[in-house]
Amino acid sequence: MIEMRDVGFGYGGTELLSNMTLTLQSGMFHFLTGPSGSGKTTLLRLCYADLLPTTGQMTAFGEDVRQLSRDGIADLRRRIGVVHQDTQFLDHLPVAENLALPLTVSGQEVDMEALRDLLGWVGLSHHARALPPSLSGGERQRAALARAVILSPDLILADEPTGNLDWDMSMRLMQLLIELNKSGKTVLVATHDLNLIRATKAQVAARVLRIANGTLNLAGADL
Ligand SMILES: Nc1ncnc2c1ncn2[C@@H]1O[C@H](COP(=O)(O)OP(=O)(O)OP(=O)(O)O)[C@@H](O)[C@H]1O
């Protein structure tokens, strides 16, 4: 699905990540961990071609990302749902309309029944008409996840989705990601929370990738 071979990347002149070899396996749950500032967000941005590798080879859905046209990148992004670290909503639009934005901006019809189902799935049916600033942190993260999956992507990338949540809210969000994975979606969650990784691994087989010293490795069996 996403393959990197000896990929390196740096902002400006200095190399931040180097010699990264990664295969995101279709249908698999992945974690990406590593200390703050190690490059987790950067790696996720590489995965959805928001950044391009400076060295090495990278393919996404079989296509060389460096050869993609503007339309090719747009197609790629439609196949990848991203939950950003900082969930941004249009605060003047109700939650339901925010969730539907990926459809409306790409000129697609909004299936109201599917939208209601999606709101119900993330437990936000009663907040459909609410404005985003009135949501709690956990509700915002679940709304962000719903928005990320509304185009039925094959791959879901979530950047520290539980960063500001208490344990119960974190696990509630993880349950949704586990359900998505069990329904066949490939998932990659960046987190520095090892307890969250352990609790998730008790429920689903997950590969743990760790960034350390500027490169990527599979974490040991203790995780
Ligand atoms: N747009 C940018 N321009 C220059 N440097 C950047 C940029 N974005 C990130 N960096 C730097 O790259 C390094 C890795 O940042 P990144 O956000 O990928 O790390 P992270 O592991 O996701 O961190 P955190 O866990 O704190 O979110 C940091 O030193 C950061 O300051």
CATH of the domain at 189: 3.40.50.300
pLDDT reported for residue 179: 96
Residue 165 lies in a domain: yes
pLDDT reported for residue 218: 82
> pLDDT in tens for each of the 223 residues of the chain?
899 999 999 998 789 999 999 999 899 999 999 999 999 999 999 999 999 999 999 999 999 999 999 999 999 999 999 999 888 999 999 999 999 999 999 899 999 999 999 999 999 999 999 999 999 999 999 999 999 999 999 999 999 999 889 999 999 999 999 999 999 999 999 999 999 999 999 999 999 999 998 999 887 656 6
pTM: 0.94
Sign of CA dihedral 148, 132, 128, 120: positive
| Ligand 1 center–CA 182 separation, angstroms | 31
The CA-CA-CA angle for residues 147, 152, 156, to 5°, reads: 70
Same domain, 55 and 148: no
Residue 84 lies in a domain: no
Contact yes or no for 44/118 (Cβ under 8 A):
no
Count of beta carbons in the 10 Å neighbourhood of residue 56: 16
pLDDT reported for residue 223: 63
Same domain, 75 and 157: yes
pLDDT reported for residue 148: 96
DSSP state letter for 107: T
| Atom from ligand 1 closest to the CA of residue 44 | 18
| Ligand 1 center–CA 39 separation, angstroms | 6
Q: Please report, as a single letter, which amino acid is at residue 138.
A: G
Query: What ipTM does this complex have?
Result: 0.97
Contact yes or no for 156/83 (Cβ under 8 A):
yes
Question: Distance between CA 108 and CA 151 in Å, rounded?
Answer: 10
pLDDT reported for residue 219: 77
Residue 204 lies in a domain: yes
pLDDT reported for residue 106: 86
Q: Confirm or reject: Cβ of 42 under 6 Å from ligand 1.
A: yes
pLDDT reported for residue 164: 84
Contacts with 142 (C-beta within 8 Å, 6 or more apart), sequence order: 122, 123, 124, 172, 173, 176
* Protein residue with its CA nearest to atom 30 in ligand 1: 37
Closest CA to 142 of 132, 152, 129: 132
Ligand 1 mutation pick, 7, 11, 188, max ligand atoms within 8 A of CB: 11
| Atom from ligand 1 closest to the CA of residue 12 | 4
Question: Distance between CA 81 and CA 175 in Å, rounded?
Answer: 17
Same domain, 169 and 66: yes
Residue 106's SS3 state is coil
Ligand 1 mutation pick, 9, 16, 47, 50, max ligand atoms within 8 A of CB: 16
* Protein residue with its CA nearest to atom 18 in ligand 1: 39
pLDDT reported for residue 190: 97
